Structure 1
Amino acid sequence: MSRRLLPSGESALLVECDSLEEVLALHDALEEARPPGVVELVPAARTLLVSVDPERMPLESAATWIRRIPAEAGSRVAGAHAEPMRIRVTYDGADLAATAALLHMSVDALVARHSGIEWRVAFVGFAPGFGYLVSEDWPHEVPRLEAPRPRVPGGSVAVAGAFGGVYPRQSPGGWRLLGRTDAPLWDPAAAEPAVLAPGRRVRFEPTR
């Protein structure tokens, strides 16, 4: 696995990887062996930001730790949550039928595939609390809408590219809407505002 380390201020290192699979494997390996002084691990599509307390772990020590941790792309360890979060979904999204047609399957088959697999939050981006979900059992590349919607309701369950996601609150968006959920996923007043934090496992449950 390639790991290119770049300084990011006085208290963080940015680790560049060649793929999302490498990022996920490294994130899991570092989380599993996380020493005192590591403040936060922030994954993205091709990078992992490692934030430290320099008084407890100097950047030089952090760099050595990152380089020495064994990890291979595709390897996974259990996330912080032993059981996946279950999100109940009403599959009546505006793009459900069109997305099924794009994937050459029936609506029922699409619902069964989307809800029958386990997802994992790879990283958070786009909007506060918006988790990009991935699954080894989701082989599809779903094109985004040609023109984004100016308003996507909060709780909308959607797919785009190789990712799944749930809009935590109303926002613009170009993902294809499969359904909706009432599950609260973003609370700025909470100690951990984003429910769908990196590493969390998720399963969707149809309400119909």
Structure 2
Amino acid sequence: MRARPFGPSAVLVEVDGPAEALALAAWVRTEGLPVVEVVPAAATVLLDGTDPAVVLDALAGWTPEAAAPAGGLVEVPVVYDGEDLAYVAERWGVDIDEAVERHAATAFVSAFCGFAPGFAYLTGLPDELAVPRLDSPRPRVPAGSVALAGTWCGVYPTASPGGWRILGRTDVALWDPDRPTPALLAPGTRVRFVRA
């Protein structure tokens, strides 16, 4: 872990990966550190709205081995008919049904949100199942598209450009500003994809 002041009222903490970032963000919230915003990412956590010296001292009490508590489980129904499903199956060396089963059997966790409101970067796909992004992004990916890039899984909350491999689609509302937690797949949420 490496931490340093980031402007007059924030601390940027660099960690080894998304699991540590999620664990640190959960620890900061649990410990009640005097921060306004806790923003986990792939290998950093931004702690904003605080006295950097106070937070830097408090971070000495966190160890990277601390695991994030398990979040709530959200099941996302998917129609597996994506235009890249056959490509992913071939890359994994299985038929389409087995590719769907592998994806649905994976226990995903929302590591952080970004790119668009409600877009969660989901971890859990093993390294051996990583798939490359498209060489050139599509100009429009439909809302609800369930897709892979590298070892990340995500669901596009709105139509947007994108270069991820599309496995299927869902009708689940990923972002709703009228919900108490607008992002359905907020960091820490466990996610299970099921055939619709």
TM-score above 0.5, yes or no: yes
Work out the CA distance in 1 between the residues paired with 2:77 and 2:86.
Answer: 19
Distance 1:139 1:122 in 2: 19
1:176 and 2:173 aligned: no
After superposition, the Cα gap between the structure-2 partners of 1:178 and 1:188, relative to the gap in structure 1 and judged at 3 Å, is same
Equivalent residues of 2:125, 2:152 under 8 A apart: no
Shift of 1:139: 4.1
Moved more, 157-166 or 3-12: 3-12
CA deviation map 1:131-155 (0-9, x unaligned): 1000165642101111211010000
Distance 1:136 1:6 in 2: 31
Residue identity opposite 1:195 in structure 2? L
Mapped to 1, the partners of 2:128 and 2:95 lie a distance apart of: 16
Deviation at 1:80, TM superposition (A): 4.2
Unmatched 5+ stretches in structure 2: none
Deviation at 1:9, TM superposition (A): 2.7
Q: Does residue 43 of the first structure (1) align with residue 32 of the second (2)?
A: no
Is 1:165 the counterpart of 2:162 in the alignment? no
| Alignment match, 1:68 | 61
Could you report, residue by residue, the CA deviation over 1:143-188 in whole angstroms, capped at 9, with x for unpaired residues? Answer: 1111211010000000110100000010000100001000000124
Contact 1:29 1:70 in 2 (8 A): no
Choose between structure 1 and 2: higher helix proportion: 2
User: How far is the alpha carbon of 1:191 from its aligned partner?
Assistant: 4.3
Please name the residue that 1:122 is paired with.
111
Sort the Cα spacing of 1:138 and 1:204 in 2 relative to 1 into closer, same or farther, 3 A: farther
- Give the alignment partner of residue 31 of structure 2, picking from 9, 31, 34: 34
Q: 1:15 to 1:36 in 2, by over 3 A?
A: closer
Report the residue type matching 1:65 in the other structure.
A
Report the TM-score when normalising by structure 2.
Answer: 0.90
Q: Do the aligned partners of 1:28 and 1:79 also contact (CA within 8 Å) in 2?
A: no
RMSD of the alignment, in Å? 1.9
